[in-house]
Chain A
């Protein structure tokens, strides 16, 4: 204990928040021996007096600290010492005691967290100490998850609420749900600080938010994150600039903000946030870049109909297996290949919640196929002996034949018309269906918008109309056009 408090005093004297937080970090895998010695240096009878001595009476290293604040720190280290006992017991490191449950570890750690929060509300802790809050929140979440996992589904505890039905989610995530409430307290503690920015706890807010997001996603109630965002945007005026927060916090926050928009099918918004996260992300953080791309790629597919290039995916073998097959099928207009790729990846796609989005890539594949039919139709004589123009009246039967070949199964004409109608409805193809006469009349100018199929033989197209630009991106390198390359006839 003595050594711990010595470390505390050194960190406090130098106002080193991270060092301070280190004294409250129960990093068992790396630090077991040291933590053991801290725990063994105290006993339940004398620990309070020991701490009092160290903080108040020990003249050798007095700190410039009000007695009130010193009391707050005492209470924190007392809780920490108790929690440490539980942690070491749960890890099976204490020989003298039987293993306890992670639930009691969680409870002990929660008590410590409350003490720290109280430090800010009642004992005037300064804002450079907020890394202590980070440590408290981080480990609280971990212990809550371990407690839930340990309890598993055999929660035989008393029904405390008077529900008519079981609440399966609550029973499975009891500790984590409680943890979310505690994290919310931390969030509000940071949010509600009215001190000037230089001394404000607002600097802790994104760390707290990111922890909350993680927890909500784990609880399968990502929608609750929306409330946090709402509160945040309401108070944005008094907040420090987003850019002045640590980059790691920015990336995480933007990632979650993007995924939230993605889950709400707001793909443009999602693309904006995810792109920012991608650009800010540390180049060595492969796992994080992978996560960001997992959502950014489907976004691009829907918003700009672009697909990742081989080069973009090169450093990410996982993403290659996930997306390459699908991308190739889309480009080729290969309906069966698309179906297969989607089916093969289904479990993984569903797990990452991108299945329903990727499925819509089928529209692009179909459109590429139909475009091939259009191009295969070739040219007819132009009016009054002019240049040859593309044939724009195409029998439904021709499209039907293509879909049958590409899809590998039979399909009746009405369904083909329905698919064509969809293409037109979604602006992927321009023209109309003449049902009674059984053909499609395509637009003379740009029947397939965005791909530069030119109506007149011999005409050249401008590069700019073909590639869809994407702000801030070296698009030609990283993103390829999802549409098949332009046919010049």
Chain B
């Protein structure tokens, strides 16, 4: 992958176009094993993505004009450059491209300002450190703006009234960053200065868009298949987990129909950056189709490289949470199946949180066998955890028909369990109503239903009854509305049976 070996003729066209057809660059062999002069040339700043960076940049460039410059460099600058490229100084979270750009900027600034000889290069922080510092500053700024507009409040448009109850009910799933116990990984605002490497969302000014597009095209040319095959003719078919070489952060999901090509698979350190990017994008754009697609390709890359570690766990956890929030049960279930196996093999993660979801999920799908398995997975310590305890109580309340208890549990769900409970709460309301209509005579106040079945207001409770053709059961008497339970007969029983029959099983294995 290094330029030193990249001398076959086939590389030349690509290289030439990359260098804007500057004829001075064509005598490739001269540069063999040497640095890349253009890293210090301002006009290449925007390209910023040399796939094959030079091993050491300090050697004298072959180009005359460059030589001129070189003469101007004091030795201290040269050793500074050398230090920057030493592998022991590389930082995992700062890419080489970023570092190079920063280095160039630093030196050209020194040159322009005429402080080339006065700067203390020995104590000057290395460019990668500068990048980090800059990121931290950016992070601070970003935090400040985000305080103003948090898009992460759970949309609650279905609940109309009583805002106090609303917040009470959902306090644990509001994902507020201030709550460390429920902190969600994808909210953390770590690395944010990757925007120069990614495609931009629509709505940015056309100029920067064009530039990004150009850069992308250039990269594409560089990565074309012919080019690759030329360099390493007929790679042997992979016999083990492959190691990816792709450095694009984003990748569209495509189902595999043939063994994966390493050139299209991203290695783990790139995937780490991808995850950070996706978290950021999700926060910013909240575009589920995009995010789901990207996460699927991310998972695929992990699978084909057989990466199973805490990073894998966090990828699945984050995707599971996003899918939950968007009600995409299919994806959610795929993630939870993986998570179960990953936790079982001893990899750390938020096992408690997801074991609780798992129980709630199987309650929703009425899968008794799986529910039994989920309980079998619990350790004695697990059963003492609040989230799991809650899920088990929900299960037991439903098993015994204790709707009173069930709806109390519904009002206080840990983590994001409320998204799951929302899915079967309607069904359980119908069951409870069927129950009440058989047991109570002749009537009771509507308010009793509102309270027992955790409606937010009498109006909502009444609406629910009317939606199920029960308007004739509501009678106004004195100042309150009365529910004629004794007259309901089979109305809610039928509705209950219907609702329990229709369990959405998509994604169920």
Asked whether any CB of chain B lies closer than 8 Å to the CB of A415, the reply is yes
Known: A159-B303, A414-B452, A422-B435. A263 touches B369 (CB 8 A): yes
Q: Mark out the residues of chain A between 51 and 104 whose CB falls within 8 Å of any chain B CB in the assembled complex.
A: none
| Residue contact B399 to A420, C-beta cutoff 8 Å | no
| Residue contact A164 to B303, C-beta cutoff 8 Å | yes
| Residue contact B375 to A415, C-beta cutoff 8 Å | no
Asked whether any CB of chain A lies closer than 8 Å to the CB of B300, the reply is yes
| Residue contact A435 to B303, C-beta cutoff 8 Å | no
Tell me whether chain B's interface is mostly helix, strand or loop, or mixed. helix
Question: In angstroms, how far is the closest chain A Cβ from the Cβ of B239?
Answer: 6
| Residue contact B304 to A265, C-beta cutoff 8 Å | no
Question: In angstroms, how far is the closest chain A Cβ from the Cβ of B502?
Answer: 17
B-side contacts of A353, CB under 8 Å: 369, 372
A-side contacts of B306, CB under 8 Å: 156, 159
| Residue contact B400 to A435, C-beta cutoff 8 Å | no
B-side contacts of A432, CB under 8 Å: 439-441, 486
B-side contacts of A156, CB under 8 Å: 240, 306
Asked whether any CB of chain B lies closer than 8 Å to the CB of A230, the reply is no
| Residue contact A359 to B338, C-beta cutoff 8 Å | no
Expressed in whole angstroms, the Cα–Cα distance for A359 and B372 within the complex equals 12
Of the candidates B253, B340, B405, the one whose C-beta lies within 8 Å of that of A415 is B405
Asked whether any CB of chain B lies closer than 8 Å to the CB of A165, the reply is yes
Expressed in whole angstroms, the Cα–Cα distance for A262 and B211 within the complex equals 66
| Residue contact A350 to B372, C-beta cutoff 8 Å | yes
Q: For chains A and B in complex, what number of residue pairs have CB atoms within 8 angstroms?
A: 114
Q: How many residues of A contact B (CB 8 A)?
A: 41
Known: A222-B369, A422-B402, A425-B435. A165 touches B304 (CB 8 A): no
Asked whether any CB of chain A lies closer than 8 Å to the CB of B20, the reply is no
Known: A153-B345, A158-B240. A356 touches B371 (CB 8 A): yes
| Residue contact A434 to B439, C-beta cutoff 8 Å | no
For residue A427, which residue of chain B has the nearest CB?
Answer: B438
Query: Which of B51-59, B64-72, B255-263 is found at the contact surface with chain A?
Result: B255-263
A-side contacts of B334, CB under 8 Å: 165
Of the candidates B341, B373, B405, B451, the one whose C-beta lies within 8 Å of that of A220 is B373
Asked whether any CB of chain B lies closer than 8 Å to the CB of A291, the reply is no
| Residue contact B400 to A415, C-beta cutoff 8 Å | no
Asked whether any CB of chain A lies closer than 8 Å to the CB of B401, the reply is yes
Q: Mark out the residues of chain A between 304 and 348 whose CB falls within 8 Å of any chain B CB in the assembled complex.
A: none
Expressed in whole angstroms, the Cα–Cα distance for A420 and B438 within the complex equals 11
Of the candidates A162, A223, A362, A436, the one whose C-beta lies within 8 Å of that of B255 is A162
Q: Mark out the residues of chain A between 379 and 425 whose CB falls within 8 Å of any chain B CB in the assembled complex.
A: 414-415, 417-422, 424-425
Known: A158-B240, A359-B396. A434 touches B441 (CB 8 A): yes
B-side contacts of A421, CB under 8 Å: 435-436, 438-440
Question: In angstroms, how far is the closest chain B Cβ from the Cβ of A179?
Answer: 20
A-side contacts of B420, CB under 8 Å: none
Asked whether any CB of chain B lies closer than 8 Å to the CB of A433, the reply is yes
Known: A418-B452, A432-B439, A433-B439. A165 touches B401 (CB 8 A): no
Expressed in whole angstroms, the Cα–Cα distance for A223 and B508 within the complex equals 13
| Residue contact B403 to A418, C-beta cutoff 8 Å | yes
Q: CB-CB contacts of B395-409 with A at 8 A, as 1s and 0s?
A: 010011111110000
For residue A366, which residue of chain B has the nearest CB?
Answer: B400
Question: In angstroms, how far is the closest chain A Cβ from the Cβ of B265?
Answer: 12
B-side contacts of A153, CB under 8 Å: 345
Asked whether any CB of chain A lies closer than 8 Å to the CB of B73, the reply is no
Known: A162-B258, A355-B375, A414-B452. A424 touches B439 (CB 8 A): yes
Asked whether any CB of chain B lies closer than 8 Å to the CB of A351, the reply is yes
Expressed in whole angstroms, the Cα–Cα distance for A418 and B340 within the complex equals 36
A-side contacts of B78, CB under 8 Å: none
Expressed in whole angstroms, the Cα–Cα distance for A317 and B165 within the complex equals 53
| Residue contact A168 to B337, C-beta cutoff 8 Å | yes
| Residue contact A418 to B402, C-beta cutoff 8 Å | yes
Q: CB-CB contacts of A350-390 with B at 8 A, as 1s and 0s?
A: 11010110011011000000000000000000000000000
| Residue contact B308 to A350, C-beta cutoff 8 Å | no
Of the candidates A351, A415, A436, the one whose C-beta lies within 8 Å of that of B402 is A415
A-side contacts of B341, CB under 8 Å: 166, 168
For residue A342, which residue of chain B has the nearest CB?
Answer: B396
Expressed in whole angstroms, the Cα–Cα distance for A414 and B404 within the complex equals 7
Q: Mark out the residues of chain B between 270 and 313 whose CB falls within 8 Å of any chain A CB in the assembled complex.
A: 296, 299-300, 303-304, 306, 308
| Residue contact B405 to A422, C-beta cutoff 8 Å | no
Expressed in whole angstroms, the Cα–Cα distance for A153 and B344 within the complex equals 10
Expressed in whole angstroms, the Cα–Cα distance for A417 and B241 within the complex equals 61
B-side contacts of A355, CB under 8 Å: 372, 375
Q: CB-CB contacts of B416-428 with A at 8 A, as 1s and 0s?
A: 0000000000000
Expressed in whole angstroms, the Cα–Cα distance for A97 and B486 within the complex equals 82
Asked whether any CB of chain B lies closer than 8 Å to the CB of A287, the reply is no
| Residue contact A159 to B241, C-beta cutoff 8 Å | yes
Of the candidates B257, B303, B441, the one whose C-beta lies within 8 Å of that of A166 is B303
Expressed in whole angstroms, the Cα–Cα distance for A418 and B338 within the complex equals 39
Expressed in whole angstroms, the Cα–Cα distance for A419 and B238 within the complex equals 63
| Residue contact B376 to A351, C-beta cutoff 8 Å | yes
Question: In angstroms, how far is the closest chain B Cβ from the Cβ of A487?
Answer: 24
Asked whether any CB of chain B lies closer than 8 Å to the CB of A163, the reply is yes
Asked whether any CB of chain B lies closer than 8 Å to the CB of A426, the reply is yes
Among B299, B434, B438, find the residue whose CB has the most chain A CB atoms closer than 10 A.
Answer: B438
Question: In angstroms, how far is the closest chain A Cβ from the Cβ of B478?
Answer: 12
Expressed in whole angstroms, the Cα–Cα distance for A362 and B376 within the complex equals 21
| Residue contact A415 to B441, C-beta cutoff 8 Å | no
Expressed in whole angstroms, the Cα–Cα distance for A265 and B396 within the complex equals 17
Expressed in whole angstroms, the Cα–Cα distance for A363 and B344 within the complex equals 35
For residue B399, which residue of chain A has the nearest CB?
Answer: A359
Asked whether any CB of chain A lies closer than 8 Å to the CB of B269, the reply is no
Known: A158-B239, A158-B240, A222-B369. A163 touches B404 (CB 8 A): no
| Residue contact A164 to B255, C-beta cutoff 8 Å | yes
Expressed in whole angstroms, the Cα–Cα distance for A361 and B252 within the complex equals 53
Asked whether any CB of chain A lies closer than 8 Å to the CB of B448, the reply is yes
B-side contacts of A265, CB under 8 Å: 368
A-side contacts of B372, CB under 8 Å: 350, 353, 355-356
| Residue contact A435 to B404, C-beta cutoff 8 Å | no
Question: In angstroms, how far is the closest chain B Cβ from the Cβ of A6?
Answer: 47
| Residue contact A433 to B441, C-beta cutoff 8 Å | yes
Question: In angstroms, how far is the closest chain B Cβ from the Cβ of A336?
Answer: 15
Q: CB-CB contacts of A432-446 with B at 8 A, as 1s and 0s?
A: 111110000100000
Asked whether any CB of chain A lies closer than 8 Å to the CB of B444, the reply is yes
Q: Mark out the residues of chain B between 340 and 357 whose CB falls within 8 Å of any chain A CB in the assembled complex.
A: 340-341, 344-345
| Residue contact B438 to A425, C-beta cutoff 8 Å | yes
B-side contacts of A164, CB under 8 Å: 253, 255-256, 296, 299-300, 303
Expressed in whole angstroms, the Cα–Cα distance for A414 and B345 within the complex equals 45
Question: In angstroms, how far is the closest chain B Cβ from the Cβ of A118?
Answer: 32
Expressed in whole angstroms, the Cα–Cα distance for A415 and B393 within the complex equals 15
Q: Mark out the residues of chain B between 116 and 130 whose CB falls within 8 Å of any chain A CB in the assembled complex.
A: none
Expressed in whole angstroms, the Cα–Cα distance for A220 and B376 within the complex equals 13
For residue A426, which residue of chain B has the nearest CB?
Answer: B401
Q: CB-CB contacts of B238-250 with A at 8 A, as 1s and 0s?
A: 1111000000000
For residue A165, which residue of chain B has the nearest CB?
Answer: B338
| Residue contact A415 to B438, C-beta cutoff 8 Å | no
A-side contacts of B299, CB under 8 Å: 164-165
Task: List 8 A-B pairs, minimum CB-CB distance, nearest first.
Answer: A168-B341, A421-B439, A162-B256, A418-B404, A432-B441, A435-B444, A424-B439, A422-B401
Q: Which positions in B face A, CB cutoff 8 Å?
A: 238-241, 253, 255-260, 296, 299-300, 303-304, 306, 308, 334, 337-338, 340-341, 344-345, 368-369, 371-373, 375-376, 396, 399-405, 434-436, 438-445, 448, 451-452, 486
Identify 25 residue pairs between A and B in the complex whose beta-carbon atoms are under 8 Å apart, listed by A's number: A156-B306, A158-B238, A158-B240, A159-B304, A162-B257, A162-B258, A162-B260, A164-B303, A165-B334, A168-B344, A265-B368, A350-B375, A351-B376, A353-B369, A360-B399, A363-B400, A417-B404, A420-B439, A421-B436, A421-B438, A422-B401, A422-B439, A424-B438, A432-B439, A436-B445
Seed contacts A164-B299, A414-B404, A436-B445; 5 additional CB < 8 Å A-B pairs: A168-B338, A168-B344, A350-B372, A359-B396, A363-B400
